[in-house]
Amino acid sequence: MIKKIFLIASCVVYATLRCIAQSSSSFDKEYVLAKEIIGASRFKVFLNYNNLKIFIGTAYGNIQYGPKGLVTFIHESSHIYDNIKSAGMRDMRYYWSDSNQLLEVRVTPNYITSDSIASILPDYVTNKPLTQTYILCKGDCLSRSYGIFGLLEEFNAYSLEARSLVDMFGFFETCSYTNRPTFWEGYLKSTYDSWINFYYFNIFFSTYLKYASMQRRGFYNSLVNDGHFTNTFSQIYNKYNEALTALDSINRKVRVKVSSGNKKIYSYPFMEDYNSIRALAEDNETKLYLSMLLKK
């Protein structure tokens, strides 16, 4: 549970930013605003590794319609950063966690590639986009070729999305350019996406361990008894979970903001997926296997 004082502190840095785009929706104004938001955040280092302009005013969406471009920039930039740090080190993987924290794991030899688990995934998720993207992806994608260590890379990137939504809320609420129903609809959608991604990866991790326990017991034992790996996994998992808890509280305010635009809270076409995937992620078997990776 995130204490209220944390929520306040995480947003203070944005309070001094100038809401320079409030009178214009042009690309240049949005880009300057986005650069100031990222530059004042814990994610500012990513400005050195990726082109923010690619993510603003494109298919990811203008800022006036939500924070999708900003959080996607953070997600994709973390991959670039991690891959640079991990380059040439086949037996190690690094994960950006904070401005002064880089987590690491030692890659267990003879690990299982993620596509191996496809046959025992729950039927509901087999043909879903996230499964196709991260479990059955073509080519040498990290999430498949590096097994659970690659899946953790993606999970961490989604965790950073959720954490950024918490961090930036205070600024979004005080900037007239973003404090409007059209923006908050997009914000609400991004928070639901964060929950869905969390649930899917709970299922991926749990199924991976289930497969390993049945087919590669030696690898399974090495993995769950690797205190370094379980410590890193737990830190990433817990930070993601804490951010989601905070977003639940924030969303109660956001729903009011969306309603203030004389629009109904839309039911979201993905709510059926949300409810179904949540039920699978909270299944006793899923939680049992997942608990093997979480430090008590």
Residues 118, 183: Cα–Cα separation, whole Å: 37
66: tokens are 């939500």
Question: At 243, which amino acid appears?
Answer: A
Residues 56, 54: Cα–Cα separation, whole Å: 6
Residues 108, 8: Cα–Cα separation, whole Å: 40
Residue 61 lies in a domain: yes
Residue 62 lies in a domain: yes
Residue 110 CB burial class (10 angstroms; 0-12, 13-18, ≥19): exposed
Residue 219 lies in a domain: yes
109: CB partners within 8 A, 6+ apart: 91
Residues 72, 295: Cα–Cα separation, whole Å: 29
145: tokens are 């070729």
What does the DSSP 8-state code read for residue 58?
A: S
Residue 61 has a pLDDT of 61
Q: Is the pTM of this model over 0.85?
A: yes
Please tell me the total count of domains within the chain. 1
Residue 143 lies in a domain: yes
Residue 20 lies in a domain: yes
**Helix, coil or strand: residue 106:** strand
Residue 12 has a pLDDT of 42
Domain that holds residue 26: 4-291
Residue with tokens 């179904």: 276
Residue 58 has a pLDDT of 63
Residue 5 has a pLDDT of 36
Residue 296 lies in a domain: no
Residue 257 has a pLDDT of 80
Q: What is the pLDDT along the chain (296 residues), one digit of tens a residue?
A: 344 434 434 444 454 456 654 444 467 888 888 998 999 899 999 999 999 988 886 655 678 889 999 999 999 999 999 999 999 888 899 999 998 899 999 999 899 999 999 999 999 999 999 999 999 988 778 999 999 999 999 999 999 999 999 999 999 999 888 888 889 999 999 999 999 999 999 999 999 999 999 999 999 999 999 999 999 999 999 999 999 999 999 998 898 888 765 555 445 555 667 888 999 999 999 999 999 999 76
Residues 84, 78: Cα–Cα separation, whole Å: 10
Decide if 180 contacts 226 (C-beta within 8 A): no
Residue with tokens 């904070």: 98
The closest alpha carbon to 103, from 61, 44, 157, belongs to 157
Decide if 64 contacts 57 (C-beta within 8 A): no
